[in-house]
Structure 1
């Protein structure tokens, strides 16, 4: 994946010709042809970078054609131990990379250094005075052990740091933004490549799909499942089994199976090869966290210095009931996830659905924030949603969905941003996002039919169930209209008087530091795959099984093996018709379609819907309870599921909400059309549209009676 940048004097390709950036005056940039008549063009930034012919920076010199169905990740091919080592090495040299950007006059890098690394500066020393050689010495000292006399006894040498920095640069020069691949350890490569090696896959004792480590061993195949079972079930737990007890347990199982005992010394050496961190974590429990868990830098009470310096993200339930578009029945209150740029108060991301907060919801919201929004034409707005790109810091609260490993890696490693968490029980530190929720409710949601206001007292005798007229998609559209054409353009009390509107503050900030790194539209599909969660799955004669669905590809039959051999698989719970598998000894992911049920039958179906379908199938066909329903069974189950939901739909709001989560149509009586404005030039027109929709709904109800 490539992060693009466009700065002053940067070269680019536009319609096959080479240009250089003369000036950046958001929302426009001025570019000049390098050859020929040297003509200058002033063009909208989004229009320029979204053009298929546009190539920025180094990427234009080494464009690589890739099949759209493939995704490549060398880091995903590593064991967790080696992956963690890469992260540690990257964190060690990251300050040096920031200093390089400082020396190239990158203003964002100056802010980043002073926020996170200013302790590397000596008393009275300025950033301009700090040299790379001096910084390398300080990094070496920090990552070393020092005795009482101040002498370094062990740790990371200056030579090692220079070697890592050189390797990172080399990898990055070959593939932009892939510098971390140069930090992969090559130790033990010779042993691992022996043809007589076999794999001992050690999985988490309580999570069999989570591979902890893969050891290359040269022992008889018959011993591997025995050793694996004893390690996972007896050695890696809080009972802290001794090495001797481990050997005796393996020997006893071999005796029971009528095979010779393995050599004791071989078994003891094998235990020594298990990563020490894995052993301590599994055998010491919570005590190990203090020793090994990554230190997550907490809240930093720094003011945002430029656009997308700090983005706050949070969730809330909207104060409005929405209806099903076909039946007109009330479904309930949707959830909204928002991200706000603290510097300008521009809204960076928005995701609205019935899904409660989860890591997957956070992923979708962040993806929407990073990508170009492209809503002006879709909703016929007056303005485009101008905010996109990679933030420097993403500030989150302490909910479990934000603390998940998947979210932390997405921000720290995929985006190469910095994740920060608010202090616990201190909502005032998320003031910007909380005020945004309040503004959306008071200025829009509380003025719409179906609102639940902010409290029962405010609601009075108003009945949201009777007045609700808007569908979930209507709410998405109205929120987008309000954010883009109103909120971004109106005065904001939290901004300076000389730039008191979000759009003005945002443009002024871009003039100071330029546009942030961004993902080109042609790379969005690849990036979306990179954000998907990963699971470890075996490839058997049936293919790959996930929640009683089978995925298989004929050309991958060579992967068929025992269930102890597992492969990394990426999947999307919102579209279970396909998965992606990383080939062994390769960085390449290959798309695998579902075969039972078929990919066509599962196209666009989410995991929640399929779970309900299986429950119906098992109930209706007890004799097939242990099998996956075939295509005909899925269709039959869909009908039964629809019938069951319809029985409860009139009186059960919960049933309606679950139906919409499962992307099911709710049909009771004749569909009632809802009229919506094509655009929202004023709040008064929004209100008029609401009243018209309510009037039509009531008229339709009387006709139905």
Structure 2
């Protein structure tokens, strides 16, 4: 993942000309043409970085070639033990990285140093006045390492970071033990989760005959990595018994002990000791949100709720039901960081889409015609969720920890006060907007009274998205907020004031957005056989990847998009590039753009009709027939079945439904327009100002 940043004296390209950044005073940036004596210009930072002509001086040059290479990650190429080693080295030198930034007046680094490394400071000691050599000396004592080793780690990190500030971690990858790459007798032993075989726990290199690999793999997964905690000697006996049954010589105990030592300690302890190891490896600060957020994007709270409004099909007026909304709020400023609205229920995929929307530029002026820009973007220092399974799962942990390199937090169970900021935002959106629109369900049946939400529903899903986007961008961000200081009591004023001490957030340039989206996709491990890669009764294959064909025990990391099953990305363990691979069965054309939910329904229809046996691949003809039959069934149920209408929204299908008998209900003109909402908000704002 590549991010860009703006620094004083840094160079930027603007309308084809090179400028030097003279000053940054959020929201204003002052630029001057390089190598000319012309006047300096002032420009809003958001308008600058979202201008199509804008580029940073150190924009990363891409070598995206025509062979479909789309994304690369050195860290993804490492096995679990190597990744742990990189993380350990990074944690050792992190105080030095923060020290360098805080000496450049980077406020977030100053806060992070005080929050996490007080043990490196003596009483009343100011980190800004400490020299690097003194911190290295204290780190050497703390980690029982030589100062020379720590200096080497820091030097290797900086060599890579100087080229790309986001990739410094790659400089910490050890070359020790890489000689195996050049040996013909090297074998990869892939260890999968015994209950979730698609999940790779570790990959280690061994030099054994092929016949031993499946035996060792089976016993380690099903006997060693269990809560029974069988001894290593017992495991070796089980392996050699299986060897004897298969008529092959036993493995020497010392060979197996070396293999045991190379399995990730974290994996072994998690699998063998269960919850006993959680406190050691799941360092989740529950209750962190009760600490004060000290600058913009220091802490973002995210949560879902079903919206208090019924929406209709914009083509035929049929009521579809209540959609879900996922919101993220910057605790420091109360600015809304992300918003995602759809009928997709809470899931890891939904969280991914919300986070993606929060990090990237939102471009609301172009998309919705807002008066102002939705200015907040970038990666938060910490993200807090509640304890729902859609948040607390491996996919989201990896997305936040490894891709975003943020900190993940969970609020304590049954303590809503720890998520008060996001709860108040949801309440504000309900009371100020949704409860004033036709089709509102209010917050409860007492508020709703005899009002018929379905009879009065007039707005489509897109209408609601547009109204809320305009409300957030042009009204909410500029309203007084009781929880903010008097001198900057609106979210946008507080946000701009905070940027003056924290600096502008790093951002992802438009040309890097596709790469960023790929990096957020979930991954799993799959073999590449003569058929290709098989995922849920689908086959993906490319003639250019025939060199990956191997036994089923050899698996590759695959990234997939739930919203479009027509392609995947695959990476060889010895390469850093992800390669796009299209689906071949069913044919690409029959499922292009289709999401996983729709495909699942089509397969269920075929199986219910007895036209598809278990584990068989659907043909192009079967897919087309299933589409036609499912469409016909849906059209029958669409008029009377609300669940079917919501299902269609998730499938992203259109249905032609005629002769729907709708009652003559409230005229659309009676529904508050955006302009009326704005006028009402200004009236409330002025009334509050008069009171004060």
TM-score scaled to structure 2, two decimals?
Answer: 0.91
Shift of 1:268: 4.8
Q: Would the alpha carbon gap of residues 336 and 458 (structure 1) be closer, same or farther in structure 2, given more than 3 Å must change?
A: same
What is the alpha-carbon distance in structure 2 between the residues aligned to residue 286 and residue 173 of structure 1? 41
Match of 2:47 in 1: 47
Match of 1:680 in 2: 674
Within the candidate set 179, 182, 191, 2:171 is matched to 182
What is the alpha-carbon distance in structure 1 between the residues aligned to residue 97 and residue 611 of structure 2? 61
SS of structure 1 residue aligned to 2:615 = coil
What is the alpha-carbon distance in structure 2 between the residues aligned to residue 429 and residue 655 of structure 1? 37
Match of 2:690 in 1: none
Residue 312 of structure 1 pairs with residue 306 of structure 2: no
Counting matched residue pairs gives: 674
More moved, 506-515 vs 324-333:
506-515
Contact 2:186/2:206 (<8 A) preserved: yes
What is the alpha-carbon distance in structure 1 between the residues aligned to residue 8 and residue 658 of structure 2? 61
Residue 377 of structure 1 pairs with residue 375 of structure 2: no
SS of structure 2 residue aligned to 1:227 = helix
SS of structure 1 residue aligned to 2:674 = coil
The Cα offsets for residues 220-247 of structure 1, whole Å up to 9 and x where unpaired, read as: 2222222222222233323334444434
Q: Would the alpha carbon gap of residues 675 and 43 (structure 1) be closer, same or farther in structure 2, given more than 3 Å must change?
A: farther
What is the alpha-carbon distance in structure 1 between the residues aligned to residue 195 and residue 614 of structure 2? 25
Match of 2:685 in 1: none
Structure 1 gaps, min length 5: 144-154, 688-705
Superposed counterparts of 1:101-116, under 5 Å: 101-116=101-116
Superposed counterparts of 1:649-668, under 5 Å: 649-668=638-657
More moved, 453-462 vs 45-54:
45-54
Shift of 1:621: 4.1
What is the alpha-carbon distance in structure 1 between the residues aligned to residue 680 and residue 482 of structure 2? 24
Q: Would the alpha carbon gap of residues 251 and 411 (structure 1) be closer, same or farther in structure 2, given more than 3 Å must change?
A: closer
What is the alpha-carbon distance in structure 2 between the residues aligned to residue 613 and residue 392 of structure 1? 42
What is the alpha-carbon distance in structure 2 between the residues aligned to residue 250 and residue 524 of structure 1? 49
Match of 1:368 in 2: 357
Superposed counterparts of 1:408-447, under 5 Å: 408-447=397-436
Shift of 1:300: 5.1
Contact 1:326/1:665 (<8 A) preserved: no
Q: Would the alpha carbon gap of residues 425 and 140 (structure 1) be closer, same or farther in structure 2, given more than 3 Å must change?
A: farther
Superposed counterparts of 1:51-200, under 5 Å: 51-57=51-57, 59-60=58-59, 63-67=61-65, 69-143=69-143, 155-200=144-189
Match of 2:474 in 1: 485
Contact 1:336/1:350 (<8 A) preserved: yes
Superposed counterparts of 1:223-238, under 5 Å: 223-238=212-227
Contact 2:185/2:208 (<8 A) preserved: no
Q: Would the alpha carbon gap of residues 84 and 47 (structure 1) be closer, same or farther in structure 2, given more than 3 Å must change?
A: same
Q: Would the alpha carbon gap of residues 613 and 623 (structure 1) be closer, same or farther in structure 2, given more than 3 Å must change?
A: closer
Shift of 1:15: 4.0
Shift of 1:411: 2.6
Contact 1:52/1:522 (<8 A) preserved: no
What is the alpha-carbon distance in structure 2 between the residues aligned to residue 496 and residue 245 of structure 1? 65
Aligned alpha-carbon RMSD (Å): 2.6
Match of 1:150 in 2: none
Q: Would the alpha carbon gap of residues 37 and 664 (structure 1) be closer, same or farther in structure 2, given more than 3 Å must change?
A: same
Within the candidate set 338, 348, 362, 1:359 is matched to 348
Match of 1:690 in 2: none
SS of structure 1 residue aligned to 2:446 = helix
Q: Would the alpha carbon gap of residues 298 and 89 (structure 1) be closer, same or farther in structure 2, given more than 3 Å must change?
A: farther
Contact 1:230/1:246 (<8 A) preserved: yes
What is the alpha-carbon distance in structure 1 between the residues aligned to residue 282 and residue 133 of structure 2? 31
The Cα offsets for residues 464-501 of structure 1, whole Å up to 9 and x where unpaired, read as: 11111212111111111111121112222222222222
The Cα offsets for residues 588-633 of structure 1, whole Å up to 9 and x where unpaired, read as: 0000111112333222221111100111122234454432112221
What is the alpha-carbon distance in structure 1 between the residues aligned to residue 501 and residue 267 of structure 2? 47
Contact 1:485/1:681 (<8 A) preserved: no
Match of 2:593 in 1: 604
SS of structure 2 residue aligned to 1:515 = coil
Superposed counterparts of 1:394-409, under 5 Å: 394-409=383-398
Contact 1:327/1:670 (<8 A) preserved: no
What is the alpha-carbon distance in structure 1 between the residues aligned to residue 532 and residue 154 of structure 2? 42
Match of 1:582 in 2: 571
More moved, 307-316 vs 579-588:
307-316
What is the alpha-carbon distance in structure 1 between the residues aligned to residue 562 and residue 421 of structure 2? 31
More moved, 17-26 vs 608-617:
17-26
Q: Would the alpha carbon gap of residues 550 and 132 (structure 1) be closer, same or farther in structure 2, given more than 3 Å must change?
A: same
Within the candidate set 609, 617, 637, 1:620 is matched to 609
Within the candidate set 555, 562, 578, 1:573 is matched to 562
Contact 1:70/1:589 (<8 A) preserved: yes
The Cα offsets for residues 428-454 of structure 1, whole Å up to 9 and x where unpaired, read as: 222221111111111110111111001
Q: Would the alpha carbon gap of residues 543 and 195 (structure 1) be closer, same or farther in structure 2, given more than 3 Å must change?
A: same
SS of structure 2 residue aligned to 1:586 = coil
Q: Would the alpha carbon gap of residues 507 and 215 (structure 1) be closer, same or farther in structure 2, given more than 3 Å must change?
A: closer
Q: Would the alpha carbon gap of residues 391 and 216 (structure 1) be closer, same or farther in structure 2, given more than 3 Å must change?
A: closer
SS of structure 1 residue aligned to 2:8 = coil
SS of structure 2 residue aligned to 1:613 = helix
Contact 2:304/2:325 (<8 A) preserved: yes
Structure 2 gaps, min length 5: 682-692
Contact 2:606/2:612 (<8 A) preserved: no
The Cα offsets for residues 60-86 of structure 1, whole Å up to 9 and x where unpaired, read as: 4x6344347510100001112211221
Match of 2:203 in 1: 214
Match of 2:327 in 1: 338
More moved, 196-205 vs 534-543:
196-205
Shift of 1:45: 2.2
Q: Would the alpha carbon gap of residues 313 and 559 (structure 1) be closer, same or farther in structure 2, given more than 3 Å must change?
A: same
SS of structure 2 residue aligned to 1:580 = strand
Superposed counterparts of 1:319-334, under 5 Å: 319-334=308-323
Contact 1:121/1:130 (<8 A) preserved: no
Q: Would the alpha carbon gap of residues 304 and 279 (structure 1) be closer, same or farther in structure 2, given more than 3 Å must change?
A: closer
Contact 1:381/1:679 (<8 A) preserved: no
Q: Would the alpha carbon gap of residues 548 and 491 (structure 1) be closer, same or farther in structure 2, given more than 3 Å must change?
A: same
More moved, 42-51 vs 125-134:
42-51
What is the alpha-carbon distance in structure 1 between the residues aligned to residue 25 and residue 244 of structure 2? 78
What is the alpha-carbon distance in structure 2 between the residues aligned to residue 264 and residue 180 of structure 1? 36
What is the alpha-carbon distance in structure 1 between the residues aligned to residue 412 and residue 675 of structure 2? 40
The Cα offsets for residues 615-652 of structure 1, whole Å up to 9 and x where unpaired, read as: 11222344544321122211211122223333433333
SS of structure 1 residue aligned to 2:162 = helix
SS of structure 1 residue aligned to 2:341 = strand
More moved, 667-676 vs 205-214:
667-676
TM-score scaled to structure 1, two decimals?
Answer: 0.90
Contact 1:398/1:424 (<8 A) preserved: yes
More moved, 451-460 vs 9-18:
9-18
More moved, 664-673 vs 297-306:
664-673
Q: Would the alpha carbon gap of residues 213 and 261 (structure 1) be closer, same or farther in structure 2, given more than 3 Å must change?
A: same
Shift of 1:16: 4.3
Match of 1:702 in 2: none
